[in-house]
Structure 1
Amino acid sequence: MSTDTTTEAVSATRRIEAPRESVFAVLADPASHAAIDGTGWVREALDAQPITEVGQIFGMGMFHSNHPDGDYRMHNRVEVLEPPRTIAWQPGQYGPDGEIGYGGWSWRYDLVEDGPGATQVTLRYDWSAVPPFLREHIAFPPFGEEHLRRSLDNLAALV
């Protein structure tokens, strides 16, 4: 695990004993994200379609005891999609005006072949674009280092 205070990001890397295409297929399926998530906040996919293009929005049912409503929904916009190498999204929420607002943080997975049938997976959480008014209410990162490692372990178990 590494923290880069210049870019305000954390990342973790793990070798997974599976081909890169198999790992990418799990990441591109929102239905698998609850099982991957190392915090337990992600509860269910709201959209059954796999991730197939940049700009696609996929919704997730969430729960966090410190969230004002407990249960809430995030609607993630796919920012990078380069099968089977990279997938990244930026979480957002619909506002009262019906538009999605994004908080300035993102999730990114980079996959590199690591010998026959194995993949090095780097998970990166970046909060460098979070505006000051949100930083007054949310501490970044909002979870400990173990979250990224646990997420990668969960991903390895799914593949």
Structure 2
Amino acid sequence: MITPKAERHVSTSRVIAAPAQEIFEVLADPAKHSIIDGSGSLVEAKGNPPRLFLGAKFGMKMSFHATMRNKVVEFEDGKQIGWRHIGQHVWRYELEPVEGGTKVTETFDWRPSPLPWLLQRQDIPTKNLASMEKTLERLDTYVTTGNVPES
């Protein structure tokens, strides 16, 4: 049974003891994405602007020997950034100031995907959720200590 379109998204959140803008600067820098990636699939940024903006296009060399081209489709400086690639699903980060820091929510939104049955059959949403939890942990470590987290 295919998941109803309205339910085709998974999210996870973490409070990070840092200002939202500081966290956003990491998310808006494609060169830092492989540092915080919890999936192990991002290798390095390829031919990108130094800071993302609405409509920016950027590439990521992947561990499976391909380069994914992405486009920023959501952007509110210091608050929200989201991008998508050829699969049309959106990777979104939302930042909300809270007591003690910033609540960061990462979402894998697969509602726009033209192949939802394939993502579901391969259990991609569940796998991505586990990777997103690791990503937020790595983002926390990087932002609060300045250290590159160990893989």
Question: CA 1:137–1:22 in 2, change beyond 3 Å: closer, same or farther?
Answer: closer
Work out whether 1:80 is the aligned partner of 2:64.
Answer: no
Kindly report the root-mean-square deviation, in angstroms, between the aligned alpha carbons of the 2 structures. 2.5
TM-score relative to the length of structure 2: 0.82
Mapped contact 2:82–2:90 kept (Cα < 8 A): yes
State the shift of 1:137 in Å.
9.9
Note the C-alpha offset of 1:81. 1.0
Residue 66 of structure 1 is matched in structure 2 by: none
Matched, 1:103 2:87: yes
1:158 matched residue in structure 2: 142
Aligned 1:63-78 pairs, distance under 5 A: 63=63, 70-78=64-72
Aligned to 2:40, the other structure's residue is in SS state: coil
TM-score (norm 1): 0.78
Separation of aligned partners in 2, 1:142 and 1:43: 22
Equivalent position of 1:28 in the other structure: 28
Aligned length: 140
Runs of 4+ in 1 over 4 A off after TM superposition: none
Q: Alpha-carbon deviations, 1:69-119, whole Å to 9, x = none? A: x3001011000111100000002xxxxxxxxxx212110000000136x10
Asked if 1:120 corresponds to 2:114, the answer is no
Consecutive unaligned residues of structure 2, counting only runs of 5 or more, are 144-151
**Which is richer in helix?**
2
